[in-house]
Amino acid sequence: MLAPVKIAVCMKEVPDASATKRIDPQTLRLDRSGDGTLNEFDTHALEEALRVKDASSETEVVVVSMGPGKAMDSLRKALAMGADRVVLVTDEAAAGSDLIATSKVLAKALERESPDLIVLGQQAGDSDGAVLWAALADRLRLPMISQAASLELREGKARSKRQTEYGYDVIEAALPCVVAVSDAINEPRYPSLKGIMGAKKKPQETVSLVDLGLAGDEVGAAGSRTEVYALGEPAARGETQRIEDEGDAAEKIIEYLSARKIL
Amino acid sequence: MDFELSAEQREIQALARELAEAEIEPHAAAWDREHRFPRELFGRLAELGLMAVCIPEDLGGAGADFLSYILVLEELSRADAGVGVAVAVHTSATTLPLVRFGTDEQKKELVPPLARGERIGAFALTEAGSGSDAAALRTRAEPDGDGWRITGVKQWTTNGAYAGTFLVFARGEAGISAFVLDAETEGLKPTGEHTKLGLHSSSTTDLVLDGAYAPRARLLGEEGKGFHIAMATLDGGRIGIAAQALGIARAAYELSRGYALERRQFGQRIADFQAIQWKLADMATELDAARLLVYRAAWLRDRGEPHGEAGAKAKLYVSSVARRHTGEAIQILGGYGYTKEFPAERYYRDAKITEIYEGTSEIQRLVIARSILGLGERAVPTPA
């Protein structure tokens, strides 16, 4: 096998970075009603898949996501960047799913696609879980490479460098497998205008839990094992000191850091 | 009534904004200082489809509507007004008239290289003795075989030194005609890069035509109908310049607002002083009015409705807003605003031209007056 024929990229809509994030005090969940945007970390995963597609045009890139129906507006950007189609699992009963419940839903959606390669970003910018890829690989019983700083596909294998504190591990896994890329792996492309114009003509499928053969109580809040007891404001920042540069700012900063034994 | 942009328009706007913030804005001060036309940028813009936003897909464009193109110009101009005018002249003053008035053969040959950004477009109408009175132009088109020899000197040709395709207006036996000339044409030579108050990142040259040959295949539209082509082109073009002015005005407002919230004097932020609050309130209000005028003109054009009056109103108003607001931005930034450490002074220098080119404010008033009073196409007599 040369390049994989089908790559699934798991992507998520997150609240727009410019919007103030709000927690609903009743449900203790993130309020997702405002403007959304593609999770930045996931765009690195998509870029990596699109690079495979650039090199071999027969490759199909399918985006798999779970979220409210309006998430399709954000996911269309993935189509504009070059993905072939989107599958969005959207279901009232799925709201409130924790990472474990989410992995159950996405695993079902991915089984339906049976891709040769599944690529994810390292984490979502809203909840910063960074475990979904591990849970997915476990459910699908597939090998997994995380924190991939490079990705090479050849002879039916994925080969990645994984960044460590001291250098790189080189890891190889047989396809099909799951790869979670780090945000250092690439610089995601902009969607082109033609991409934006063409995106609406590409398949955008929404599926329900029933379509995936899942019962409502297996997922959502009912199927989650995480429970949020309380949420609090982050601690206020300590006293700040403002240094105006009058030619001696550098010295003052060094003095400040030295006094606290940071330097 | 619906003030929402379509999903597609929002996505195109977001793309232009993201690109302008990442790849244009950080360099704008240097390009201004060095008087540098960023030729390499236009290849990048073309790759993303931004050099042919509203050009039909079958001719290599993105096939988006005119309002999308206006949104792109606003974003580019917010980052660098020189880049904005280069794209505006390339698109609405060169490529669009080819799409609109060209034969199928001309469109197939001439539009795709412009859409791909391999050739940059330029519009050569103005001469030393004919500015607002464009119909007084003196460049001659003399018949020669099955074509014309064009002789004369054009002035203030935007993109002049870097253009690959020139739309040239010249007078022949049948009156004014429009010709499409390649930069490689013998006898065609851009000369004398002009030094300007602002827009330092754009190229403005003279264009010397010394018997430059235009075969019949390069006559755009009918012989003698060139003035109509020029005026129809400027009808849409001035919406583009209004969008450029809108981008500059927005840059000045956003800079002023941000600065007012940070700068402290007399123990408080200057945004806490009513003197500054009122300035910002006026700027925000006029900016909204300006935006609505520009978007409405583009919307009318997309609906295929007359937009000459709406475009003239937009350009007249927004260019004045841009000139005044950029001055206010300097006032709000105080001494810092007067220095090159902040972009306010660049905005101020760049804004002024929007009251002059593609029809001065006086000409816009003339266009509006003729329209609202039901006067004829041309109230000003021109020599035969």
Stretch A244-250: mean pLDDT: 84
Instruction: Quote the pLDDT of residue A2.
Output: 54
Q: Using the predicted structure, report yes or no on whether residue B58 has a pLDDT greater than 80.
A: yes
**Interatomic CA distance for residues A85 and A80, integer angstroms:** 10
Q: Work out the pLDDT band at A154, boundaries 50, 70, 90.
A: confident
B48 and A73 within 8 Å at the Cβ level: the answer is: no
Strand partners, B179: B168, B219
CB B12 within 8 A of CB B67: no
Task: Dump pLDDT digits (tens) for A32-91.
Answer: 777 889 999 999 999 999 999 999 889 999 999 999 999 999 999 999 999 999 999 999
B48 and A190 within 8 Å at the Cβ level: the answer is: yes
Contacts of B31-36 with CB under 8 Å at 24 or more apart are B31/B80, B31/B82, B31/B200, B31/B201, B32/B80, B32/B82, B32/B198, B32/B200, B32/B201, B32/B346, B33/B200, B33/B340, B34/B200, B35/B195, B35/B200, B35/B201, B36/B200, B36/B201
Residue B57 touches partner A, C-beta closer than 8 Å = yes
Mean pLDDT lowest for which of A236-250, B204-218, B361-375?
Answer: A236-250
Chain A residues whose CB is inside 8 A of the B15 CB are 190-191, 193, 196
A197 and B62 within 8 Å at the Cβ level: the answer is: yes
- Which backbone phi and psi does B174 adopt, to 5 degrees? -90, 5
**DSSP codes joined into one string, B151-167:** EEEEEEEETGGG-SEEE
Chain A residue with CA closest to B51: the answer is: A193
Residue B62 touches partner A, C-beta closer than 8 Å = yes
Q: Work out the pLDDT band at B381, boundaries 50, 70, 90.
A: very low
Chain A residues whose CB is inside 8 A of the B11 CB are 76-77, 80, 191, 196, 199
Q: Using the predicted structure, report yes or no on whether residue B378 has a pLDDT greater than 60.
A: no
Question: Hey, what are B275's tokens?
Answer: 């003197």
Q: What is the overall mean pLDDT for chain A?
A: 90
Instruction: Quote the pLDDT of residue A4.
Output: 60
* Distance between first and last Cα of chain B: 46
Instruction: Quote the pLDDT of residue A125.
Output: 84
CB B258 within 8 A of CB B95: no
Active-site residues of B, by number, are 358
Cis peptide before A176 (omega within 30 of 0): yes
Rg, Å, chain B Cα set = 21
Chain A residues whose CB is inside 8 A of the B19 CB are 190
Chain B residues whose CB is inside 8 A of the A193 CB are 12, 15, 48-50, 53, 62, 64
Chain A residue with CA closest to B72: the answer is: A193
Grouping H, G, I as helix, E, B as strand and the rest as coil, residue B360 is: coil
Residue B49 touches partner A, C-beta closer than 8 Å = yes
Which residues neighbour B335 within 8 Å (Cβ) at sequence distance 6 or greater?
none
For residue A196, CA distances in Å to A80, B47, B68 come to 4, 13, 12
Chain A residues whose CB is inside 8 A of the B47 CB are 192
ipTM of this predicted structure: 0.83
User: Across the A/B interface, how many CB contacts are shorter than 8 Å?
Assistant: 41
Which residues neighbour B82 within 8 Å (Cβ) at sequence distance 6 or greater?
B31, B32, B37, B199, B200, B201, B202, B350
Question: In angstroms, how far apart are the furthest CA atoms of chain B?
Answer: 79
Which domains are delineated in chain B? 7-115 (1.10.540.10), 121-224 (2.40.110.10), 228-372 (1.20.140.10)
Which residues neighbour A252 within 8 Å (Cβ) at sequence distance 6 or greater?
A243
A196 and B48 within 8 Å at the Cβ level: the answer is: no
Task: Dump pLDDT digits (tens) for A2-43.
Answer: 556 899 999 999 988 776 667 787 877 777 777 889 999 999
Of residues A93, A85, A191, A88, the one with CA closest to residue B48: A191
B8 and A192 within 8 Å at the Cβ level: the answer is: no
B11 and A190 within 8 Å at the Cβ level: the answer is: no
Angle between helices B66-79 and B25-34 (to 10 degrees): 70
**Interatomic CA distance for residues B86 and B46, integer angstroms:** 13
CATH tag, A6-223:
3.40.50.620
Task: Dump pLDDT digits (tens) for B144-200.
Answer: 999 999 999 999 999 999 999 999 999 999 999 999 999 999 999 999 999 999 999
Instruction: Quote the pLDDT of residue B320.
Output: 98
Instruction: Quote the pLDDT of residue B353.
Output: 98
Residue B53 touches partner A, C-beta closer than 8 Å = yes
Chain A residues whose CB is inside 8 A of the B18 CB are 190
Instruction: Quote the pLDDT of residue A19.
Output: 66
Instruction: Quote the pLDDT of residue B259.
Output: 97
- Which backbone phi and psi does B168 adopt, to 5 degrees? -115, 135
Instruction: Quote the pLDDT of residue B384.
Output: 42
**Interatomic CA distance for residues B40 and B33, integer angstroms:** 18
Q: Considering CB atoms only, which of B7, B12, B18 is closest to A193? A: B12
Question: Hey, what are A143's tokens?
Answer: 């090998």
CB A179 within 8 A of CB A148: yes
A193 and B19 within 8 Å at the Cβ level: the answer is: no
How far apart are the CA of A35 and the nearest CA of chain B, in angstroms? 12
For residue B280, CA distances in Å to B83, B259, B349, B374 come to 27, 11, 20, 38
B7 and A73 within 8 Å at the Cβ level: the answer is: yes
